[in-house]
Amino acid sequence: MKRTQSQDLFRQALKQIPGGVNSPVRACKSVGSEPLFIDRAVGCFIYDADGNRYIDYVGSWGPMILGHRHAAVIQAVREVLERGTSFGAPTDLEVELAARIIEAVPSVEMVRMVNSGTEAVMSAIRLARGFTGRDGILKFDGCYHGHADALLVEAGSGVATLGIPGSPGVPQSVAAHTLSLPYNDPQRFRDAMRQHGDTIACVIVEPVAGNMGLVSPRPGFLETLREETEKAGSLLIFDEVMTGFRVAYGGAQSLYGITPDLTTFGKIIGGGMPVGAYGGKRDIMEHIAPQGPVYQAGTLSGNPMAMAAGIATLKEIRHAGFYDALEEKSKRLAEGLEKAAAGAGISVTIDRVGSMMGMFFNSGPVTCFSEAKASDTALFGRYYNGMLEKGIYLAPSQFEALFVSSAHNVEHIDETIRAAEEVMAALKSESG
Ligand SMILES: *Cc1c(COP(=O)(O)O)cnc(C)c1O
């Protein structure tokens, strides 16, 4: 496959943009390759600057649950565009998106819009601290909650991919307030809460961890978080930036039947536009300025185009049967990939919740970050590049999730499985 346009653009970008990219994992360093520069996308297909077509399982890292350029989303944005791009004043669109989020997620009684998942999490943490009068934060190894200082401790996603423990530039005094524990270990969590509970403002978790590959919560884990935070007077924050409207219309909390105090959103609620949101119980949310003393603001927050894309997306995915159809196709893909690996005698561990899944090159089980890190990342890199050559666009890291959209049909799924069978067989014979 010819990639000269992408290669040329990357050479230029490297001179002007650190690493040539505006977000680290896009650089494809960990898989020993270079980024594709994208020209356009439609449905489940993405086209690079050289005109190559790929079946896309990145979905802009989660938002594109309807696939690219869904007609209803494009139409909604077009209509708003005729009214203006930003007013810095309230619009009907903010009220409508807020209402839709509140209707979908019962634990959310009030919601505030921001511009990214990072901003949503950062704001929710400030609110939790302001509300409780405590400074401590408890998170879990391998969970990624955006790049705010306090959360860059044992974080997932690009931090995991690049193998950096935290980040220079995060003051020790800030990181000192963050405790990070192994995911899926209720006993360690209980012990930590017994020791530090009265200093912990909030416990934040990805209810399905999607930034260390995909690791689902083991039975009892989320329940323990709920029980212990309640006992300690700490807030429980579900970071549903990835899982919100992805694993179910009501998010992971509806799937597992847990009611957090605060929830953060992003990705899908923006329908491909920059949006984040945080919400929760009314008595907590009323602490946000101007109603309360906890300050948080944004010039472009509630941006009309972003709200319109979000509303249009939520309208589409609310249709009966939407998630069932997605489940069926995702299951087909997961089973096909598992068979492809087994057929080639390669050990993989696949975990999946609805249309998000991960495949570790690791005989498993994978229930936490340290087990995820034991994967054969070199083998993943060869798999990634092999799939790319066959027109399948995956996230360029062992520690990222794969997303199926409603635009993927059975033929696309089967084409992907056939590609995986060929690539796996080739990997096996090379390593012979
Ligand atoms: C993507 C993600 C974030 C960060 O969102 P951005 O929009 O990239 O700032 C935070 N938390 C989780 C769980 C995410 O998946």
User: Please, where are the H alpha helices in 164-290?
Assistant: 172-175, 186-196, 221-232, 251-256, 282-285
Q: Residue 137 carries which DSSP code? A: E
Q: How far is the CA of 346 from the centre of ligand 1 (A)?
A: 31
Query: Which one of 29, 267, 329, 373 is the catalytic residue?
Result: 267
Note if 144 is an active site residue: yes
Note if 239 is an active site residue: yes
Note if 267 is an active site residue: yes
Q: CA angle, 246 as apex, 23 and 412 as ends, to 5°?
A: 85
Mutation to probe ligand 1, out of 26, 60, 64, 144 (largest number of atoms < 8 A from CB) = 144
- Enter the pTM of the model: 0.97
- Give the mean model confidence (pLDDT) for residues 69-81: 98
Q: Residue 33 carries which DSSP code? A: -
* Atom 11 in ligand 1: residue holding the nearest Cα: 145
Q: How many CB atoms lie within 10 A of CB 58?
A: 19
For the chain, percent of residues with pLDDT exceeding 90: 92
Q: How far is the CA of 363 from the centre of ligand 1 (A)?
A: 28
Q: How far is the CA of 402 from the centre of ligand 1 (A)?
A: 15
* pLDDT of 302 over the 60 cut: yes
Q: How far is the CA of 144 from the centre of ligand 1 (A)?
A: 7
Determine the number of helices (DSSP H) and then strands (DSSP E) in the chain.
15, 14
pLDDT at 171: 86
In DSSP notation, 195-206 reads HHGGGEEEEEE-
Q: What are phi and psi of 248, to 5 degrees?
A: -170, 160
Residue 211 CA: nearest ligand 1 atom is 15
The set of protein residues with a Cβ atom below 6 angstroms from ligand 1 is 116-118, 121, 144-146, 206, 210-211, 239, 241-242, 266, 276
- Give the mean model confidence (pLDDT) for residues 232-249: 98
pLDDT at 156: 75
Query: Which one of 239, 261, 329, 393 is the catalytic residue?
Result: 239
pLDDT at 333: 98
- Identify the band that residue 7 occupies on the pLDDT scale cut at 50, 70 and 90: very high
- Give the mean model confidence (pLDDT) for residues 267-280: 98
* Atom 5 in ligand 1: residue holding the nearest Cα: 117
Residue 121 CA: nearest ligand 1 atom is 10
Q: How far is the CA of 324 from the centre of ligand 1 (A)?
A: 25
* pLDDT of 160 over the 80 cut: no
Q: How far is the CA of 183 from the centre of ligand 1 (A)?
A: 18
Q: What digits encode the pLDDT tens for the residues 39-60?
A: 999 999 999 999 999 999 999 9
Mutation to probe ligand 1, out of 183, 211, 212 (largest number of atoms < 8 A from CB) = 211
pLDDT at 163: 60
Query: Which one of 54, 57, 144, 393 is the catalytic residue?
Result: 144
Q: Going from the N-terminus, what domains does the chain have, and what CATH number goes with each?
A: 4-69+320-430 (3.90.1150.10), 71-317 (3.40.640.10)
pLDDT at 157: 75
Q: How many CB atoms lie within 10 A of CB 365?
A: 13
Residue 210 CA: nearest ligand 1 atom is 15
Q: How many CB atoms lie within 10 A of CB 304?
A: 21
- Give the mean model confidence (pLDDT) for residues 302-321: 97
Residue 206 CA: nearest ligand 1 atom is 13
